């Protein structure tokens, strides 16, 4: 009898886990719970504190944050981590910018981030990009070799604290998806991903479908933006003329990662900018007949 009860308990637990997994798998790609707020720390004329930022995200219904920063923000990183945990907001990622101005790959800020994440037992993504000076005056092969050496070191440090590395396109040589895939395949690491930013890829709109195929095995997050050839780099979602077709391609590809929504506007309220992008995305979802995703807003 006791064995039978244990069997029933195990069966019920298995069913619960299976149902939870199935529910997670069926979350629509463009659903609100799949959005990640990005570029809202230095780009916020309200200069919100960690607590105020968490409140803002709660009010907007956004449950994930990718943390970007300037040096003046790093002293409150530990407070940010604790505040997000308390608010049940996921720290999806932390910006990991390599300046390349010193002899060492990692500078004081990079090491501070790693130390703070370790001390607070945070397992998150590091969104990695390089100042183009890091690759200045090098041939293509030399750039590849230097990138591989640096990223192997950074990936080792990230793994050591339970974090994962994701290459972030920020323009120039390192920002080209083909080069990022070359780097990953040269390293042979199965745990390095790619974050693709529409706003740093305006010159790639026409060949986005081809680039998407190349990136897809490694692609973890796509940060969206209004896309129009003659527009500024930062354009609200829905005010371009190409982002709808790019989102359609993304869905068609089978991509199952997260969608970044930007607050990347100087001297404006991050909440207002995020809301404007969310409203623009909703209009595009109507156009794309994404009825299941729309129901989550």
For the chain, the structural domain boundaries read 38-294
What is d(CA 281, CA 239) in angstroms, rounded to the nearest whole number?
10
90 CB contacts (<8 Å, ≥6 apart)?
63, 64, 65, 84
Q: Which architecture characterizes domain 38-294 according to CATH?
A: Alpha-Beta Barrel (3.20)
Backbone angle region of 192, left / alpha / beta, with phi > 0 → left and psi within -120 to 50 → alpha? beta
**Against a cut of 0.85, is the pTM above it?**
yes
Of 95, 175, 99, 96, which is closest to residue 133 (Cα–Cα)? 99
The radius of gyration of the chain's CA atoms, rounded to the nearest angstrom, is 20
Proportion of the chain above pLDDT 90, given as a percent? 87
> What are the residues whose beta carbons fall under 8 Å from the beta carbon of 88, sequence distance 6 or more?
63
Token pair for residue 149? 């050496």
Give residue 49's pLDDT band: very low, low, confident or very high (50, 70, 90). Answer: very high
280 closest CA partner among 229, 243, 230: 243
DSSP label at residue 217: T
Q: Which carries the bigger pLDDT value, residue 39 or residue 11? A: 39
Q: At what angle are helices 243-252 and 270-287 packed, to 10 degrees?
A: 70
At residue 101, the pLDDT reads 72
| Range scoring the smallest mean pLDDT among 14-23, 139-148, 260-269, 287-296 | 14-23
Q: Is the confidence at residue 22, as pLDDT, over 90? A: no
Q: What is the pLDDT of residues 211-249, one digit of tens each?
A: 999 999 999 999 999 999 888 999 999 999 999 999 999
> Interior CA angle at 270 toward 269 and 271, to 5°?
90
């Amino acid at each position: 009898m006791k064995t039978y009860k244990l069997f029933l308990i195990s069966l019920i637990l298995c069913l619960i886990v299976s149902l939870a997994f199935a529910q997670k798998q069926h979350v629509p790609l463009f659903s609100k719970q799949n959005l990640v707020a990005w570029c809202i720390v230095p780009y916020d004329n309200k200069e919100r504190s960690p607590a105020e930022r968490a409140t803002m995200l709660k009010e907007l219904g956004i449950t994930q944050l990718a943390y970007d920063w300037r040096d003046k923000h790093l002293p409150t990183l530990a407070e940010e981590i604790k505040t997000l945990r308390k608010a049940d907001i996921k720290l999806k990622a932390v910006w990991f910018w390599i300046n390349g101005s010193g002899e060492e790959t990692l500078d004081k800020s990079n090491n501070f981030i790693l130390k703070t994440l370790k001390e607070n037992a945070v397992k998150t993504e590091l969104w990695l990009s390089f100042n183009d000076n890091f690759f200045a005056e090098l041939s293509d092969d030399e750039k590849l070799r230097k990138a591989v050496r640096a990223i192997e070191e950074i990936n080792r440090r990230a793994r050591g604290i339970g974090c994962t590395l994701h290459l972030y396109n920020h323009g120039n040589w390192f920002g080209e998806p083909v080069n990022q895939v070359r780097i990953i395949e040269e390293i042979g690491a199965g745990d390095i991903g790619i974050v693709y930013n529409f706003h740093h890829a305006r010159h790639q709109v026409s060949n986005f479908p081809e680039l998407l195929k190349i990136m897809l095995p490694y692609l973890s997050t796509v940060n969206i933006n209004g896309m129009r050839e003659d527009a500024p780099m930062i354009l609200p979602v829905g005010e371009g003329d190409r982002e709808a077709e790019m989102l359609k391609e993304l869905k068609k590809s089978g991509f199952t990662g997260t969608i970044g929504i930007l607050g990347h506007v100087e001297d404006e309220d991050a909440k207002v900018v995020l809301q404007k992008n969310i409203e623009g995305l909703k209009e595009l979802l109507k156009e794309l007949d994404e009825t299941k995703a729309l129901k989550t807003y």
